[in-house]
Structure 1
Amino acid sequence: MFSNISIFVFLSLESFVYSIGHTYFRMDAFKRGQFKFRSLPRCLSLAIRSISFERLDNRPLSNTPSLPRRRNGISADSYNEIRKLILQAPLPTAVLQRSPTKEFSLDDIGIPLAASSYYILTLINECSTLVMFNKDHELCRIDLSNLLVLVHDLCWSSKLNMFLMAGYSLYTFNPRSCILSTIERITLARGEWIVSITIDSNSIYLLYSSRSARIECRSLFLLHTLEKQWLEKDFLRQTDFLAQCIRINQWNILAMTIKQKDGGWRVDLYDSNNLYRIHRGCSLGQGVPGMRNCLVMPYNRLWIVINNCSIPEQVILLDENGRMKAKTHLDKPRGCFNLCLVGDEWIAMNVKDKLRLYKVQS
């Protein structure tokens, strides 16, 4: 038979355990709710997090009439408000149909394009002139004609705070000092060049063009040591002709634009850790003979395809399984173009002799 003191201690322990479990459940529910917002643009995430969440206080987690109906740890009213924000977010295909929010002169055609949340970098005059902007004005122009630099693709590294430029060699460009440097440790064979470059948090992925194409994964940092390598047979099929552009999103999914031997283009999705093909994308249609300019960029969990190989050129939105979600033809001057994200709120486009900026949230 328990003494009064024993009963008191037992009840106190039971109350303590219940309190811990109750608190853990509430924190877990909140974390699970927050996790769902990570794939959204920053502007939506900030709006969602500004919504006030109701407290449960210390009331039991039972279905009592006094508690409002809840979904994923938040009240039904808050859930509906979040859902409304998400549904109202415009698709990139719709954003690019608007008039540009801002426009700057390039004076020549430039295809390579990349951006951080502040800087926008492109090359013009057959890659002999590097031009840098921010969201308000042009910052500088640098003549590269004496350096014999040829660049096919660009990307931004937030870890290095520099642009990486790939072509007949691999280069870095520091936007603060405006210094261009060659990465000497990466040497290319004669007749070989880097077609496309992309990075994840700690690695560089390089797509080479030669008699036998390959993809290398190298360390992002000083020694740039080779970590992994895949040959053409690992990512192209017998019916494929070439790969042209690679990009990685924050979920370690690598997208690749592929030209088939019948002239059509598609985008395949791979696990970037082992280059295992996750989804074989749908056909984007026949391309212009000889044209090799079908590009892709991540947009949260979606993918934007810049199809310069069709007439007129197209912007195609693919879902996370590589299926076509939306497609639009752009009313623009003749000539190839490219797109990139400037932070989470702007899309930059270089088209013929203009750099255009489109605000995602109007």
Structure 2
Amino acid sequence: MLTKPPLTNRTNQLSSTLLIKPRVHTILNHKKHQINFEQIDRYSHKFNLLNLSNEKWLAMASSDKYILIGGGSSSSLRLFDLQGNEKYIIDIKTFAAFDLAWSNVLNAFLIAGYDRLQMYNVEKNQLTLVNNIDLINKKDNYLWSIACHGTDLFIVLSDGLESVWRLSLPKFQRVQTLSGSEIRESNSDDRISCIRTNGQSIGMTIRQRTTNQWRVDLFDYNTMIRTHRGLTIGYGTGAFNFLERCMLTPINDDQWLIIGGYKVQPNALTLMDERTGEIKQTERQSDKQNEFISNICTSNNNNQQIITMIVMNNETGQRQIHVFEQ
């Protein structure tokens, strides 16, 4: 494991003041999931994804029983159990899926795609269109990234400004909107790749236009006001976000796992602690530099946390799912 000190933004000198400000709160008997990066590679259950060698990026979400995967340039999603057995292939009847999320309230997966939000009930094997999402101009708006927590659904709407909506479940009523100008610090902030939440904070990965730097900013869960400006975790080539997506997932109240995606350097898994401001990166081993993690998500099963990753090999075209239970 390679452990690094907190990273700089190059425009900021490393000092005793971190750009990720520690968050102080008191939680009695708070159980924190300790992440052992070496164990993620060594002890994860792995299975191959067949017939997906042309996909550089795939959407993914997991529940306590299932993993839903798809997107890319396909309108089909594939449902697996945690052991890698394929259960269903679901035709979402639109161009790809940009992001997926699991909702405990709905007991269903939510599918964000071009011009629509859909809901997939696993037990019924039923796909339903959510009709009351009011997109003003369907040609210019699509649902780029989504995240669920309790009765809250957060949607990154790509409309040129990438505003963020908070909707109340199960009725999908919009109760809050964060404009693009409130998200971006300046015009140099290019776009949001991913939104996730742990119920304490809302995390977003944001790309800087001129340098192609990726960072993670945190926003207060209730007010949606920025609380932390993240340090740079990687540099991309400036490709369209569908290929080069920086993704993140919460692993408890304070920590986040972040991956850079295709051609983002360093080729690493990043652990960020928002309470202490500490960042650790574990780079892929030199003999595995052709492999990269393209997506990551977490779920819980009987108080056991499950980390699921899509690992892709550019040389062989092999795509694998790694499932790590801790």
Residue in 2 aligned with 1:17?
A: none
Q: Sort the Cα spacing of 1:287 and 1:158 in 2 relative to 1 into closer, same or farther, 3 A.
A: same
Map Cα deviations across residues 148-200 of structure 1 (whole Å, 9 max, x no partner): 24210011011111001111111101111111111111133222111100122
Cα distance in 2, alignment partners of residues 332 and 120 from structure 1: 26
Partner of 1:303: 256
Q: Does 1:156 align with 2:93?
A: no
Unaligned runs of 5+ in 2: 1-25, 313-317
State the Cα distance separating 1:324 from its structure 2 match: 4.4
After superposition, what is the alpha-carbon deviation per residue over 1:33-76, rounded to whole angstroms, capped at 9, x for unaligned? x95344434xxxxxxxxxxxxxxxxxxxxxxxxxxxxxxxxxxx
Instruction: Tell me which residue corresponds to 1:269.
Output: 218
1:315 aligns with 2:269: yes
Return the offset for 1:339: 1.1
Give, in whole Å, the separation in 1 of the partners of 2:76 and 2:100: 14
Corresponding position of 1:50 = none
Do structure 1's residue 114 and structure 2's residue 52 form an aligned pair? Answer: no
Match of 1:84 in 2: none
Partner of 2:19: none
Match of 1:345 among 282, 305, 320: 305
Distance in 2, matches of 1:100 and 1:115, equals 15
1:69-108, aligned counterparts within 5 Å?
89-91=34-36, 93-98=37-42, 100-108=44-52
SS for the counterpart of 1:151 is: coil
Q: Does 1:219 align with 2:172?
A: no
Distance in 2 between residues matched to 1:214 and 1:114, nearest whole Å? 22
Contact 1:112–1:123 (CA under 8 A) maintained in structure 2 = yes
Q: Give aligned pairs, total.
A: 277
Q: 3-state DSSP class of the match of 1:247?
A: strand
1:306 Cα deviation from its structure 2 partner:
1.1
What's the secondary structure of 1:345's corresponding residue? Answer: strand
CA separation of 1:249 and 1:345: change in aligned 2, threshold 3 A = closer
Q: Determine whether 1:248 maps to 2:200.
A: no
Q: From the superposition, tell whether residues 282 and 335 of structure 1 become closer, same or farther in structure 2 (CA, over 3 Å).
A: closer
RMSD (Å), alpha carbons: 2.4
Counterpart for residue 178 of structure 1: 125
Contact persistence 1:153–1:196 (CA under 8 A): yes
Q: Deviation at 1:106?
A: 3.5
**C-alpha separation in 1, matches of 2:99 and 2:175:** 21
Q: CA offset at residue 127 of structure 1?
A: 3.2
Partner secondary structure for residue 96 of structure 1: helix
The 3 A distance-change label for structure 1 pair 209 and 360 is same
Unmatched 5+ stretches in structure 1: 1-33, 42-88
CA distance 1:335–1:283, change in 2 (3 Å): closer
Measured in 2, the distance between the counterparts of 1:274 and 1:258 equals: 19
CA contact (8 A) 1:153 1:197 kept: yes
Deviation at 1:323, TM superposition (A): 3.6
Structure 2 counterpart of 1:230? 178
2:154 is paired with a residue whose SS is strand
Q: Deviations over 1:287-315 (max 9, x none)?
A: 12215201111011201111115145321
Residues 195-214 of structure 1 correspond to what in structure 2 (within 5 A)?
Answer: 195-214=144-163
User: Could you say what secondary structure the match of 2:181 adopts?
Assistant: helix
Quickly say closer, same or farther: Cα 1:291–1:36, change in 2 above 3 A: farther
Q: Structure 1 pair 100/274, CA: closer, same or farther in 2 (3 Å)? A: same
| Bigger share in helix | 1
Distance 1:257 1:230 in 2: 15
Which whole-Å CA distance do the structure 2 matches of 1:173 and 1:157 have between them?
A: 10
Deviation at 1:356, TM superposition (A): 2.5
Shift of the 322–141 alpha-carbon distance from structure 1 to 2, 3 Å rule, reads farther
The structure showing larger relative contact order (alpha-carbon pairs under 8 Å, at least 6 residues apart) is 2
Q: Would the alpha carbon gap of residues 345 and 106 (structure 1) be closer, same or farther in structure 2, given more than 3 Å must change?
A: farther
- CA offset at residue 350 of structure 1? 1.8
1:326 Cα deviation (Å)? 1.3
Higher strand share goes to which structure? 2
Distance (Å, rounded) in 2 between the aligned partners of 1:322 and 1:354: 35
Distance 1:287 1:113, change over 3 A: same
